[in-house]
Each structure stands twice: as C-alpha cells, then as structure tokens.
Amino acid sequence: METLRSIAECRQWRLDNNQATVVLVPTMGALHAGHLALIRKAQEEGDAVMVSIFVNPIQFDDPSDFDDYPLTLDEDLITCAQAGVAAVFVPQREEIYPNGYCTFTEVVGPLTDKLCGGARPGHFRGVATVVLKLLNIIQPQVAVFGEKDLQQVLIIQRMVADLHLPVRLSVGPTVREADGLPLSSRNARLSQESRAKAAALPRGLDKANAAFRDGQSLSMSLVELVYEELLVHPGVEVDYADVVRLADFSEASTAQAGDLLAVAAFVDGVRLIDHILLGGPGLSPSKEG
C-alpha cells in the first residue's frame, strides 16, 4: 500500500494507475467497521481502492468539535493495509487550503437548508468543497459514500450531476451495533454511560416507524415519539428531529411511506445523527463488520 502525502504524489500515483478503475473512499479517519464496509464495497466497484484521510476543518461549524475529532492515523494506515487498500491519500491542511484560499462549492436550497444543514451552518459547503477538491485531485472513476450520512450523499449526488463531474457515486451500507447504534467515528468519544444513552436514537426512530406502520401519519406525533425516547435520559439534547420528503426535502406535515425521519442529538456533548425511511425495515443490526 502506498501512503501519499502531497497532491503531486497523488497525481503521480493516479498516472501510474491509469489502466485501473480507481475507486475513492473519502474519510476523515478514525476508521471503524463502517469504513471497512465502504472499502469492501469499493473493492467490488473497481480494482484500485484509494482511501483519503483528511479531517476537513471547513466542515466543522464548532471549533471544539474539530479540536476533539479523534485522530488515529497510525492505526488507520494499518487498517487500510490489512483491508487491501491500494493507496491512502493523507493531504496536509496547508496544501488543501493554502493561504489566500477563497473558493468554495455550495449546493443551495432545501437539500442543504434542512436537517444538518439548518443545524450546522456552512457544514455542507465545507463538505462539498473538499469532496470536489478530492475528486479533482484523484480523478477516480467511482467514489463511495456511506448511507449513514444520507443528506451528505444526496448533496454530493446533486453536486456531481450539476457540475457534470465524470465520476459515478456508489452508496455503502450503514453498519450498526447490536442495539442499533450506527457506527461513527464520534462513538469513540462516548463514555460507557453515554454509549448506553446513544441507543435511544435508533430506538426512537424504530418506535416512530412502528407507529407510522400502525397508521400514525402526523409527522409531529412521530417526531414526538423520538423526543420522548431521547429526553428521558439526562445529558441528551435534541438538535433536530424532522420528517421530510426524500426527493426534495420539502416539509411533510403528513408523513408518507418513503419519507425521511432524521434525528440529531447531543449525547453528553457528542453530536450523533441517525435516520430511518418511514414504512421501511427497522434499524436492526447489520451483519457487516
């Protein structure tokens, strides 16, 4: 496995591999079984998988969240090598955002205004900007993103279509713990006690989904079920819980099958997100990882 630390090295690797179908898995490191599922998906999509590891400062609306983001580069490189990754791109912040940098990419409208976009101003502008940079630098034929960050996936799909980018996007599965909690690099920041509270996110979503299946279609009532499940735990603060139409993120006061019910909550200060598609299967644990 090659570890590429500059854009020049990365471009040279791309030239050396110009016969290969290069598949990019962009990450911010702190790799876990969820990332491994994305790497496996990438290996099905092509023959040279590149993982990028870059904690992108401009997608953090809260500086302390950036400062606390887990950094585990040495372990991540071992994980990638063991998983059969061809190359890891670990760019330096100064090269991605040199002094005087002032160009950003922004998908506008409800897709970025709602849910995490509403709660974290500038977050998706930061994501779209860095993803466009990575796609330009690496020029993969395919890029794999995790379904766990569904809003991010939809925004990147929009950007790729709107800017006619020559890349195909592939979406990898969410990997869940036995109690339904989706794997996330942020879970590493949860104490044992907070970890137990965090399972209220998927539980609340499952309860709302069960109520929807039983005929409750008032979005406000579904959202209340999520709040009820979360707010019994001291130290849990709901950032948002909302039902939107998946196609255009418009408000859905009366829920329909296929609508997105999404939640973000701070569990003892750690921000976690989860979602469910109403009427779909529950958030039972995945067999991955």
DSSP states of 197-230 = HHTHHHHHHHHHHHHHHTT--BHHHHHHHHHHHH
Q: Please identify, using beta-carbon distances, which residue of 52 and 209 lies nearer to ligand PAF.
A: 52
Q: Please identify, using beta-carbon distances, which residue of 183 and 208 lies nearer to ligand PAF.
A: 183
3-state DSSP percent of the chain in helix, strand and coil, to 5: 45, 20, 35
Contact between 26 and ligand PAF by CB under 6 A: the answer reads yes
Contacting ligand PAF (CB under 6 A), which of 59, 79, 112, 184?
59
Active site residue 275: no
Q: What contacts 258, CB < 8 A, 6 or more positions away?
A: 246, 277, 278, 279, 280
Q: How far is the CB of 35 from ligand PAF (least distance, A)?
A: 9
> Quick one: tokens of 244?
């939107």
Contacting ligand PAF (CB under 6 A), which of 4, 24, 28, 85?
28
Q: Half-sphere exposure of 192 toward its Cβ, with a 13 Å CA cutoff?
A: 0
Catalytic residue among 35, 123, 233, 275: 35
Contact between 58 and ligand PAF by CB under 6 A: the answer reads no
Q: How far is the CB of 169 from ligand PAF (least distance, A)?
A: 11
**Is residue 183 helix, strand or coil?**
coil
Angstrom distance (rounded) from CA 289 to CA 6: 31
Q: Pattern 106-145, binding to ligand PAF, x per CB under 6 A?
A: ---------------------x--xx--------------
Catalytic residues, which ones? Answer: 35
Contacting positions for ligand PAF (CB under 6 A): 26-28, 56, 59, 127, 130-131, 149, 152
